[in-house]
Every structure is written in C-alpha cells, then in structure tokens.
Amino acid sequence: MTLPSVRRSVLVDDVIQRLRTEITSGRWPVGARIPTETALIEQLGIARGTLREATRALIHAGLLQARQGDGTYVRATSELSGAIQRLGSELGEVLEVRQALDAQAARLAAARISPEAVTHLGELLARRATAWQHRDRDAWIQADHAFHQAVADAAGNGLLGDLYSALGPALRRSMATHWDDHGFDGADRRGHEDLLDALRAGDAALAARSAVSNIDATDDWHGTGN
C-alpha cells in the first residue's frame, strides 16, 4: 500500500502527521519495519531532508526506532506508550507507578463494575492459578496482566485504562525478569482473589487497600530477592 503524495512545500509537521497516521492506524504495526527512505520520498513527493527531520521527531517521541544498518521500525502506537516503553525492567520504577494507578482503578471499579466484568475477572484468575501450577511463565504473565488491565477498564475511566494499557509492556517485562527471584509467589491472593471479593461487594475502600497490598507484597519479595 502506498501513501498519497503531498506538496513539495509541505511542512515537516505535515509529514510527521502522515507517518503517525500510518502507525496509529495499525497499517504499520508495532515491530514492523517502515518503508525505506527512498520509497517514502517517492510516495510522499518530499525532499530527503524533510523526511529525515520528520523521522527523527517520531524517533524522539518513541514511536519509531532506528536500527543501524537494518532500517527504522515501529516501536509504539502513541507518544505515551513510547515514553512508557523507555522504562526498563527495573521493577522498583514500575511499582512506584502502579502504586497510584492500581489503587485508583480498584476504587473506581468497585462502584462501577458490571456483573459480566466480575465474572470475567474470576475467569482470568482461574487461568492465572492454572498457569502458576504448571509453571507456565508466559501464560501466567498474560493472565496476571489481563486481570489488572480488566480492573483498570472496569473503572470506567478511559484515560486511566489507556495509561494502564501503555504501561503493559513494562509490567510484563518486569514480571518476566523477576519470575525466578527468591520469594516470588504467583499464587498470592493479595490484590487478586481478595480484590475480586472487594469488587464483588462494591467496597471501594477495601478494594483500594487490596490493590495496594499486592504492590506491597511484590515490593517485599523484590527486596528479599535482591
């Protein structure tokens, strides 16, 4: 698929927006290599310097990643996601961010969650327990993150849900990195089964405390394992 050409006098900002649209629409998915510089120059009808300036801006924003000798790849679908993905696997940083997000998500979800969402959360926890029992790291990480994302979505605040979604890659990296740490307990019900009980009861204060207890428990084993 080719991009529509633009005027040669176009501003760099217009080219940035054209490229960003390809990324955010999913036509250039995360992990994909974007068309070559020569191809984009031909498709857009712009000068090489204009394209390079636009590409540098998107690299700086975290949407693109240049790999020397291999081209330019899509790194994230939004500036927010790109910025958050700059977080490494350092669990301490992730926990500090989650301390605020998880508590507020749980508090809001307790007042707004639907019966269908409660049922879905129970199913995710069953998957999480099974994965832990079989020591299936990837399945456990997927189920654990899906549970917390579902709580954030149940909060009924689109921005909060988007923030949690953007944080997802950093959360999954941190869990993968620390899976074998001493004291890691993937069956811990704090912030999981007990959080679900609080949500089912509509107890906002208890739900928030339960969410925080999960972060505290993680912080405890993380400190012990290091």
**CATH code, domain carrying 74:** 1.10.10.10
Residues 6+ apart with CB under 8 A from 203: 110
Structural domain of 137: 88-225
Question: Same domain, yes or no, for 77 and 116?
Answer: no
Using the structure block, give the residue that is written with the tokens 């790999």: 67
**Calpha distance 84→164 (Å, rounded):** 10
Same domain, 104 and 42: no
**Same domain, yes or no: 92 and 201:** yes
Residue 27's CB is within 10 A of a number of other CB atoms, namely 12
Q: Hey, which bits of 8-142 come out as E strands? A: 64-67, 71-74
Domain co-membership, 16 together with 74: yes
Q: How many domains does the chain have?
A: 2
pLDDT in the model for residue 85: 61
Q: Tell me the C-alpha distance between 109 and 184, whole Å.
A: 27
Read off the CATH number of the domain in which 147 is found.
1.20.120.530
Q: What is the pLDDT of residues 146-202, one digit of tens each?
A: 999 999 999 999 888 888 887 777 778 777 877 887 777 788 888 899 999 999 999
Cα separation, 48 vs 204, whole angstroms = 56
Residue ranges with strand state E in the chain:
64-67, 71-74
Among 81, 96, 126, where does a domain finish? 81
Measured from the Cβ of residue 220, the count of other Cβ atoms closer than 10 Å reads 12
DSSP string, 112-172: H--HHHHHHHHHHHHHHHHHHHTT-HHHHHHHHHHHHHHHHHHTT-HHHHHHHHHHHHHHH
Write down the pLDDT at residue 226: 47
* pLDDT confidence tier of residue 89, bands split at 50, 70 and 90: very low
Q: What is the pLDDT of residue 3?
A: 67
| CA 166 – CA 152 distance, rounded (Å) | 12
Q: What is the pTM of this model?
A: 0.65
Same domain, yes or no: 75 and 158 = no
For residue 80, pLDDT beyond 80: no
Residue 59: how many other CB atoms lie within 10 Å: 15
If asked whether residues 68 and 151 sit together in one domain, one would say: no
Q: Could you tell me if 110 and 22 lie in one domain? A: no
Residue 223, C-beta contacts closer than 8 angstroms, at least 6 positions apart: none
Q: End of a domain among 49, 81, 113? A: 81
What does the alpha-carbon distance between residue 33 and residue 17 come to, in Å, rounded to a whole number?
Answer: 18
State whether 27 and 138 are in the same domain: no
